[in-house]
Structure 1
């Protein structure tokens, strides 16, 4: 295989969801020169010449329990303003190719297969994908809807952990862009430690928590004690429906609150509330209300409003992670990559402040460049 023929697989868990569809369509659009790579950190100057796979070399596939074809899913996203009108038809061939590589996920209700049987089946799908497409390596990224945290007495692995275990068995690098358990199940600890593969994070940082990771260090650096920090999220789409489940919402909120506790030294008063508003579709509004003390005890308030499209915020980060993990795998790196904490609410160690995480990421890019 020549250098120019090297192809890298990107396998999405939740491959027909909004985030995966946006990432797949967006990659095709950028590769064709139809749109600039807005939001892709790996397309900025510090990441040139570090050996990342080009966007034109990425081959997409995945698992999903839904059967809506990707081209139709993309048309729905365009109708909702997530994708530019006309883009689904412009990249229709690429979407159809990716759709042909999507395999049934699970387990669905009534599935009698054991955990081991499911892991074996999912791993076989990954191995077949790599073999047929002559891939040098594959990165598995979980972008499925948030699942509730498993009960302590549950003797079955959650779906996210089944997919994660299959990724390791198939020799694939892995990232978990959701708050779901994934590789962090205690039952997978031995497999994770022995796998010899790079993996990263949990729960992508795209909006409200991104802003929190910028603002919280400001209060610390200016010696302004934070008394309370409360937030509300209004969102629709698949995430809104999934997070209407209190157990799933609790898993999501844990990451949002962890950023504040890690940065401020302790969690301030206040909670994050998530409301499902189906009419909002793939768009989200996040409000934060921050109470803090100023000089001589003067009490002050900072309020922020973040309005955005989660899929469009997440998709470029997903493409970044796919490229960085593929390069890390090629370079022989193994284990949790704390250097990719810039992308996560719940990273594998490292600093909590965004500026420090970015500096760590830049240093990591330098290591990859030096290792070429």
Structure 2
């Protein structure tokens, strides 16, 4: 590349782009690029990733699919009113929000192969008009209910479109996406990298730390129960028992993998609309120590899902783009640190996952 050439830009195409997470991603990237806010929560902006060859934040271009019609600037104002975004930030990054909103195309509500080509064409057009080196597709839509219906579900339709458009794919949701059996041959032939699934932002992040602690201390966990209170789009979606089952499956899997057995107890998800984008997660852990002494640990996690998720989405988009640039393909198991139900083989404990992620960052930077 000559000194007069512009560095290559990378597209981030979000499924569910007008939701709280998508809006926070766009507003957050614009704020970081302008130096308005620090990059708190973004691992890819920490020293171990400085030589990984990741695309710089100012070179990311945003677009996506959504069935919602509320424009990003208006959505950002609502999030600022709820305390999710800093006061005044929507006005400061209004131009960037507007530019991204103009790149959002109508999504689909129903599955089926006949919808794939139109969605793939939207992504190809986005890449061509902006002369992008590559586009990473990230699913940040609401959780899809688990059903036994035949055919291709909506999340798999979007994933198939990403693969047909030649894009690495990241599934930040519990939905099946690229792992649907009907996509197996398409994904294998594509040679593209993919990562997922279900971003680990709150309760399960804590479980990934605590469950290995009990196992390593040889303490017997007798029961592990939890409750999630949340509102917003996720709360409404997870009010559907089938969607909640998909979400809870990942939470339970973390415990079973770390403890070697699935303890008694269940996790409940309650929709509390007044909470909006804020979430409270409570865990009650009954365990047994030396001589059968029974004890209890209780934890409470209160946080904002969009603010927790957005930096991870930016991390994953940058890492997946760099992996594609390096010619990697198939499941990126090294990104398991970010997910409840990671693809590929890898450790369960958060500390071990972090170590593997740092090694991956080092390898991405070789010959960068």
- The normalised TM-score by structure 1 is 0.97
* Equivalent in the alignment of 2:61: 59
8 Å Cα contact 2:51/2:362 also seen in 1: no
Could you tell me how far 1:92 is from its partner in structure 2? 0.2
Pick aligned residue for 2:81 from 79, 82, 92: 79
Distance in 2 between residues matched to 1:274 and 1:107, nearest whole Å: 24
Could you tell me how far 1:181 is from its partner in structure 2? 1.1
Give the SS at the match of 2:53: coil
Give the SS at the match of 2:354: helix
Distance in 1 between residues matched to 2:301 and 2:150, nearest whole Å: 40
Distance in 1 between residues matched to 2:176 and 2:166, nearest whole Å: 20
8 Å Cα contact 2:195/2:333 also seen in 1: yes
Matches within 5 A, 1:1-372: 4-107=6-109, 115-151=112-148, 154-348=149-343, 349-372=345-368
Give the SS at the match of 1:279: helix
Query: Which consecutive unaligned segments of at least 5 residues does structure 2 have?
Result: none
Distance in 1 between residues matched to 2:14 and 2:349, nearest whole Å: 28
Q: CA RMSD in A?
A: 1.0
**Deviation digits for residues 64-92 of structure 1 (CA, Å, limit 9, x no counterpart):** 00111100000000000000010000000
8 Å Cα contact 1:331/1:371 also seen in 2: no
**Deviation digits for residues 272-297 of structure 1 (CA, Å, limit 9, x no counterpart):** 00000000000000000000011111
8 Å Cα contact 2:143/2:237 also seen in 1: yes
8 Å Cα contact 1:179/1:252 also seen in 2: yes
Query: Which consecutive unaligned segments of at least 5 residues does structure 1 have?
Result: 109-113
8 Å Cα contact 2:197/2:339 also seen in 1: yes
Would you identify which runs of 4 or more consecutive aligned residues in structure 1 move more than 2 Å? Answer: 1-5, 114-117
Distance in 1 between residues matched to 2:325 and 2:147, nearest whole Å: 34
Give the SS at the match of 2:146: coil
Distance in 1 between residues matched to 2:41 and 2:68, nearest whole Å: 28
Could you tell me how far 1:170 is from its partner in structure 2? 0.3
**Deviation digits for residues 293-334 of structure 1 (CA, Å, limit 9, x no counterpart):** 111110000000000000000000000000000000000000
- The normalised TM-score by structure 2 is 0.98
Distance in 2 between residues matched to 1:305 and 1:214, nearest whole Å: 14
8 Å Cα contact 1:150/1:158 also seen in 2: no
**Deviation digits for residues 325-360 of structure 1 (CA, Å, limit 9, x no counterpart):** 000000000000000000000001211110000000
